[in-house]
Structure 1
Amino acid sequence: MATLFQGCSVFSLINFGSSSSHYSKTADIEYGNLDRQRLDVYQPVAAKTSAPLVIFFYGGSWDSGSKKHYEFVATSLTRAGYVVVLPDYRLYPEVTFPDYMTDAAMATAWAINHIDEIGGDRQQIYLMGHSAGSQIAALLALDDRYLNTMNISKEQIHGLIGLSGP
């Protein structure tokens, strides 16, 4: 059995079980000019009107991770009727704090500025993160400095969901 799963990551196995029949995905949208400044948008196919928007930041100790590993989060949330934006961001040692916060603010601004195009509801914008991503989401939601640089107000964020935050 070990031979069967050799070379497979836990994320690959989790994502393998995610059905794509209930959502559409637009991948690798540029929110900036750098390689890791890309995001994926997941939209529920059954949405009749605008849907709540979740912007999800993955964890990885600020030095590892990829949006592709967290597709299972997006598929679960789209099944519940949410539009999901799943960005990549630059990592240590390429950058240090607060550079990944700049990327997160840019991705959030992109989502808010394109909310009508992606089917999101301006009155239901939520930031969510896991581990290091939880810290990123919390700083965006609670500290004006990051979103203000993108001409976005933290008052536009209606909730914060942190999973296993530092």
Structure 2
Amino acid sequence: MEKGLLENLPEKQLNVFAPKKADGKQPVMLFIHGGSWQSGNKDIYNFLGARLARKGILAVIIDYPLSPDYQVHDMAKTSAQAVKWTEENINTYGGDPERIFVSGHSAGGHLASLISVRNEYFDTLGVENPIVGTILIDAAGLDMHWFLKEMNYEPGTKYLRAFTDDSLVWKDTSPIYYLDENDPPMLIMMGGRTLPGIEKTTERFLEEYKKLEPEPNFHLQKRKKHIPMIAQFFYTPNRVYKWIEEFMEVK
């Protein structure tokens, strides 16, 4: 664990799934699980790691500290540390450290996008942001500042356990406010029947993203609800894998 940045955070493990013939050229996808920033764990997504490996993608599935014991900055710091570890060690497993993509579903999509667009998390670790692409799967929280102001939750309740009662933190951890031309490219997927908050914040995010990328790599899966957006990855022939393979330029 890094001193300073992570000294007050719990040590977390990660699972690595490597293709059988990984030769050091395999692209890497680091996946961050969802769970409303308060639940979930890496082992639930072993199925995803195994399927990605069979398709020639080296998968890293991570854990991060959860609320109410930890807050969103802690989660992002831990996610960035996992990316740093991956860059430093993935060649041991046959992965290419120069082809690291991050992905996440729901709250994990929020964290993946946040560490992609905010280099501060890597600056504190003393490394450059190595992320070359971001894959969002029905991501939550892309404009948490707007969402939490709209919802007006009672202090200390629901999402505020992760995002605190401080509106400055909400804005500080909303990826929409940090988009710029230096960000890695994004593949964005959203369910047409997802949660209203995800639908609205993704729409707001896309409006800003289009100022940088007029034709974003966006897929609306019209009949999908929020949980089926990740459950669909159980089905190996699913078209979402093709979208990911094309985005990651899997040979």
TM-score bin, normalised by smaller chain: 0.7 to 0.9
1:10-49 mapped onto 2 (5 Å cutoff):
37-49=12-24
Post-superposition Cα deviations, 1:33-59, rounded to whole Å, max 9, x if no partner, equal 865511111111122442101110010
Q: Which residue of 2 aligns with 1:135?
A: 110
Q: Which residue of 2 aligns with 1:111?
A: 86
AA at the equivalent of 1:71:
N
- Partners of 2:131 and 2:71 lie apart in 1 by 25
Contact 1:36-1:88 within 8 A present in 2 as well: no
Q: Which residue of 2 aligns with 1:150?
A: 125
1:123 and 2:115 matched: no
Query: What is the RMSD of the two structures over their aligned residues, measured on CA atoms?
Result: 1.9
1:98–1:86 Cα change, 3 Å: same
- Partner of 1:126: helix, strand, or coil? strand
1:54 and 2:29 matched: yes
Between the two proteins, what is the percent identity of the paired residues? 33
- Partners of 2:81 and 2:24 lie apart in 1 by 26
Q: Could you tell me which of 38, 51, 56 is aligned with 1:63?
A: 38
1:76-87 mapped onto 2 (5 Å cutoff):
76-87=51-62
Q: Which residue of 2 aligns with 1:165?
A: 139
- The answer for unaligned runs of 5 or more in structure 1 is 1-29
Q: Could you tell me which of 49, 53, 74 is aligned with 2:49?
A: 74
Higher Cα Rg: structure 1 or 2? 2
Contact 2:33-2:40 within 8 A present in 1 as well: yes
Contact 2:80-2:121 within 8 A present in 1 as well: yes
TM-score, normalised relative to structure 1 = 0.75
- Partners of 2:72 and 2:33 lie apart in 1 by 16
Post-superposition Cα deviations, 1:51-87, rounded to whole Å, max 9, x if no partner, equal 1011100100000001011111111111110111111
Instruction: Name segments (4+ residues, structure 1) moved above 3 Å.
Output: 30-36
Contact 1:125-1:159 within 8 A present in 2 as well: yes
Name the count of aligned residue pairs.
136
Contact 2:22-2:95 within 8 A present in 1 as well: no
